[in-house]
Structure 1
């Protein structure tokens, strides 16, 4: 490949017109250059990524001056990049590399990523599988219309005459996402809620009392419509979050280490058994037992799932696997000692399980999928055949 051909290949890669084979060439150069790179305390991720990309251009026979400006940044936008931390070394790998996918298919049974899946239970007990119904009106309850949009949102609209009648009957609906599911619902008051996998939300079909009370199991992101006369109260296990109008995320999975409430906008009050804490934007409250601890939050990481990503910073293998288990609907089994490897990085949730696990294999974590079960072996254990 001469210099002109290499330049054309780089240009096609960055403007999205490269073929799979051409993308594989650039991915190969990038991964070869990234292998063994170490991040020092004086560097940040962006600096290291630029250094790797400059080396990639040299492998292609190009200098940085002959490449379009900031191409090194665009490669990370074009491919899902996962950063592994193991024994102090940082390794990069793209999640959309054709060769990696072929290798992954050789020794795992692939499972697709999750998607918009949920079941709505109406006040009369009727269950509606939202995945199976088309866009349009789904049901009507006491003057309240429930519809589904083309992009998979659940919308409640109230007849004005019913809204003003405090004596009109009020029912409760529950929307529940399975493992491998997520869903967005717009509540009767205009509050928008995003539910993560294996989660549920119970709420009234209209808010007539002096408060708006809902119940969450699992994880949800809330953009609460402002109403000074009716505070919004979110119940999750033993915790209560009180707000007037704000954006926040609550992670209340029973298998996680505490309930985490992360505030992005506005103000919330977190309460439990006589204890309480008021959060400011950028703070996170962690409830463990009867203790509420408030710290500065990584809001990007807390809400990455809503934006379509897995994001980790110094996460244990168990922490990572709990998220994968919920999103890909698999049971994780640890055979032997659990590897002490820590993981940091960001991967798009639309990648298949095989692609994600192929990334894990670079940190010497051995795995095998059989049906809906995924077995994990420590690096020292005997590999599956």
Structure 2
């Protein structure tokens, strides 16, 4: 088989013009010498040509490189017998999700039993990713569902007007010269929810799933700008040297003047991690205090702070629309899955000792992640009833 035919077959596949038989032929070529070497060169060339140009082409490349990973071990990176979830740049993995499953995913639906188990057929049901979902809790206890709320004015409390723009971002403006600093609002995200709010001082906050932020509707007249965080959030703080910005969590306080940083304070993680991207912050706990520099993070376990170099890609992945993990246990991965996909996770058998690294877009369906975990020996069962979905990890 000459290279010209192989090249034309790949090009037709990328245009969506191959039939199932031709697609299978192409995948087999990835498993045979010398065609696989030539195809791998072509795929690399397509990556170089298409990354900025055509997401559809990149989406079709993803299952091919996934097949290369599985069959040829070209891209395996060992931790303890794991392989990365994707080779493709994360921004286009979501577009590839349906193609991955259609080319032979590892899920199968058992009719009448309402469950998905590991297998070798195509998934019929799946779990959608989270999205922009949150509620705004006003000072009088009223709750506004932000997902369904129309754009425009949401509330006017003590001279402060809360509005929602066309992109879904909540912001505040002062209707009067001196809005009350004793009036508080809370924005709260559920499992499967994320949201952005611009505080009265212009500080931008991105809330991750299962998180809440309490803040005054005005910082006027206060010595400091104090907010209270539960869960995880990324902050871009507006500079004001005369009025420091403080973030209070369950066991620490972060003080800044103007900077970009992330705080992960989920209770089920057992520690609070503060990661600094720009500027400088001071973290204080009951035991000690630390100042960290960009590229560093503090780890608060039991009130004791330690500073270490940060993996910025993993720490800020959620804010950039991805799920990325490095040398993580299956339990650590599933805590992210539970929060983002709004499912319950339970375990059967002994704890899996392996560590995993990789990532997917947060726009991907759950099956994209489960497909790869199955390839790495993680068996599962996804049960569904009228109220929720439960992922059973069989270790």
Q: When the two structures are superposed, what TM-score results if normalisation uses the length of structure 2?
A: 0.79
Distance change (3 Å), C-alpha of 1:182 and 1:169: closer
What does residue range 229-378 of structure 1 map to in structure 2 within 5 Å? 229-273=242-286, 275-371=288-384, 372-378=389-395
What does residue range 144-155 of structure 1 map to in structure 2 within 5 Å? 144-155=160-171
- Alignment partners' CA distance in 1, 2:306 and 2:205: 25
Q: Tell me, yes or no, if the aligned pair for 2:82 and 2:355 is still in contact at 8 Å.
A: no
Query: Residue 187 of structure 1 aligns with which residue?
Result: 199
Query: Residue 106 of structure 1 aligns with which residue?
Result: 109
Q: Tell me, yes or no, if the aligned pair for 2:83 and 2:357 is still in contact at 8 Å.
A: no
- Alignment partners' CA distance in 1, 2:25 and 2:265: 38
Q: When the two structures are superposed, what TM-score results if normalisation uses the length of structure 1?
A: 0.81
Q: Tell me, yes or no, if the aligned pair for 1:249 and 1:263 is still in contact at 8 Å.
A: yes
Distance change (3 Å), C-alpha of 1:157 and 1:342: same
Distance change (3 Å), C-alpha of 1:30 and 1:237: farther
Unaligned stretches of 5+ residues in structure 1: 34-54, 379-385
- Alignment partners' CA distance in 2, 1:350 and 1:339: 27
Q: Tell me, yes or no, if the aligned pair for 2:85 and 2:369 is still in contact at 8 Å.
A: no
Query: Residue 73 of structure 2 aligns with which residue?
Result: none
- Alignment partners' CA distance in 1, 2:29 and 2:151: 43
Query: Residue 117 of structure 1 aligns with which residue?
Result: 133
Query: Residue 50 of structure 1 aligns with which residue?
Result: none
Q: Number of residues paired by the alignment? A: 350
Query: Residue 97 of structure 1 aligns with which residue?
Result: 100
- Alignment partners' CA distance in 2, 1:182 and 1:375: 25
- Alignment partners' CA distance in 1, 2:344 and 2:319: 23
Distance change (3 Å), C-alpha of 1:64 and 1:375: closer
- Alignment partners' CA distance in 2, 1:198 and 1:31: 45
- Alignment partners' CA distance in 2, 1:216 and 1:121: 14
Q: Tell me, yes or no, if the aligned pair for 1:29 and 1:56 is still in contact at 8 Å.
A: no
- Alignment partners' CA distance in 1, 2:319 and 2:41: 36
DSSP 3-state at the match of 2:129: coil
Distance change (3 Å), C-alpha of 1:232 and 1:20: farther
Q: Tell me, yes or no, if the aligned pair for 2:233 and 2:263 is still in contact at 8 Å.
A: yes
How much is the aligned-residue C-alpha RMSD, in angstroms? 3.3
Q: How far 1:100 moved relative to its partner?
A: 5.0
DSSP 3-state at the match of 1:318: helix
Q: How far 1:134 moved relative to its partner?
A: 2.0
DSSP 3-state at the match of 1:360: helix
